[in-house]
């Protein structure tokens, strides 16, 4: 039987909603969310599906013990999408707050993803 996914916060059912926007920091938020799921921190969820009010995704979000949004920039699209659907994220992380400039560069370097993931993990572990 597979182990339950756990976040540093101690919750077993964590939903992770990334921005996944067109700019580098949106793509970086998505890559970090994928890595968080691989590491067993939570379950990657479809932010666009919440915006579309897809019934299955809405039920999954409702059933989550904890919701984490990873926004790329101060527009906070992932967080606002959840809030407009009636959900209050338990934790919001904004990638641009790490000093990464928003650009059209979409070819992310592995080191850039690793450095950002490390910063996100530090935030999640400090809770």
99, part of any domain: yes
Sign of the CA dihedral with 21 first, then 51, 15, and 1 last: negative
45, part of any domain: yes
Rounded CA separation 17/7 (Å)? 14
pLDDT tens track for 30-42: 999 999 999 999 9
Q: Quote the pTM value.
A: 0.89
Share of the chain above pLDDT 70, in %: 91
126, part of any domain: no
> What is the CB neighbour count within 10 angstroms for residue 9?
16
Q: Average pLDDT for residues 80-99, to the nearest whole number?
A: 97
pLDDT of residue 96: 97
104, part of any domain: yes
pLDDT of residue 11: 54
Structurally, the chain folds into a number of domains equal to: 1
Q: Average pLDDT for residues 110-114, to the nearest whole number?
A: 95
48, part of any domain: yes
pLDDT of residue 20: 92
pLDDT tens track for 49-75: 999 999 999 999 999 999 999 999 999
Strand ranges for the chain from DSSP E: 14-18, 43-44, 66-71, 91-94
């Amino acid at each position: 039987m597979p182990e339950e996914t756990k976040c540093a916060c101690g919750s077993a059912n964590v939903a992770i909603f990334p921005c996944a926007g067109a700019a580098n920091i949106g793509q970086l938020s998505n890559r970090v969310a994928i890595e968080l799921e691989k590491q067993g921190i939570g379950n990657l969820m479809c932010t666009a599906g919440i915006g579309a009010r897809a019934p299955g995704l809405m039920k999954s979000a409702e059933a989550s013990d904890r919701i984490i949004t990873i926004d790329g920039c101060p527009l906070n699209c992932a967080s606002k999408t959840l809030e407009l659907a009636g959900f209050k994220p338990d934790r919001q992380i904004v990638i641009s707050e790490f000093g990464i400039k928003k650009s059209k560069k979409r070819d992310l370097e592995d080191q850039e993803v690793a450095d950002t993931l490390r910063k996100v993990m530090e935030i999640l572990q400090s809770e």
